[in-house]
Amino acid sequence: MRLAVRVRPGASRTSVGGLHGDRLVVAVTARAVDGAATEAALRALAEALGVRPRHVTLVSGATSRDKLVEVADDAVDDLADRVERLRAT
């Protein structure tokens, strides 16, 4: 499953949830320096979805706040439901 994500680096706390347009918002405390925010966002998304970090990979947007990530469909059975719950928060 591919997800459009909006990363907010430099946040006061890490959180996953809500929408920015049609993109899932991932706020991370890491700054946008040398890919630190991207790595933190991928880890936070994996934790929020309840999957291993290796199941979440960056497809595009390495230097952008708007990213496309792929979550392995076989990681969990109810992945679509988990994503929808995050979008609603």
Q: Are 12 and 81 in contact (CB under 8 A)?
A: no
Structural domain includes residue 74: yes
Q: What is the pTM of this model?
A: 0.93
What is the reported pLDDT for 75? 72
Q: Token pair 């430099």 is at which residue? A: 10
Alpha-carbon distance of 66 to 81, in angstroms, equals 22
Structural domain includes residue 78: yes
Q: In the chain, how many domains are there?
A: 1
| pLDDT digits 0-9 by tens, 7-55 | 999 999 999 999 999 999 999 999 999 999 999 999 999 999 999 999 9
DSSP code at position 46: H
Range of the domain at 67: 2-83
